[in-house]
Amino acid sequence: MRWIRDQEGTPQGEAGAWVRPNPVKKNGTGKASAVTDADVTSYRFTILESDLLSHELQLSLWSRLPLPIATIISSGGNGPHAWVKLDCANAAEYRAKVRLIYSLLARFGLDPSNKNESRLSRLPGAQREIGKHGDGAQRLFYLNPEPSETPIFERRK
């Protein structure tokens, strides 16, 4: 956030901009220092996105599921990304929880490439041109730093 503020804008290219929901080591262990799943230092979130459902249906689904949805971000492309808060102790626990979520929601066409813990998500505030849908804006639709397993539309203050 400081970098964006100090540089006066979101770093982005024609394909938009990304952020990792889960923290990683400073230097990746992959080819040319690329970040891999082994570089994740904390297993906080998984990403849900469907390749079958419309944007509107996805937003409705994410808001009705009894999952701890922490944020929903417009990808500016195929569909919104919902971050589910997991806070797992290790990679094995993360993979087991993600496997369960994805199996229970399989009929909704979740994108299986979003299962891995080092996955990138879209950064709100960026503009996407390549593969854009509509105006291509990557927007923050919903944010709750302490979500519960109560569906968003059933939560009370």
pLDDT digits (tens, 9 = 90+) for 41-82: 999 999 999 988 999 999 999 999 999 999 999 998 878 999
Alpha carbons 84 and 73: distance in angstroms, whole number: 12
Query: E strands, 4-156, where?
Result: 18-19, 43-48, 69-73, 81-88, 121-122, 140-143
pTM: 0.90
Joined tokens for residue 82 = 């919902």
What is the pLDDT, as a whole number, of residue 8?
67
Positions in the chain whose pLDDT score sits under 70: 1, 3, 8, 155-157
Joined tokens for residue 90 = 């290790």
- Which of 20, 40, 18 lies closest to 29 in space, CA to CA? 40
Q: Which residues on neighbouring strands pair with residue 121, listed in sequence order?
A: 19
Per CATH, the number for 42-154 is 3.30.70.1790
Edge-to-edge strand list for the sheet holding 81-88: 43-48, 81-88, 69-73, 140-143
Count CB-CB contacts under 10 A for residue 32: 5
Asked whether the beta carbons of 142 and 71 are under 8 A apart, the reply is yes
Q: Where are the chain's structural domains?
A: 42-154
What is the pLDDT, as a whole number, of residue 154?
74
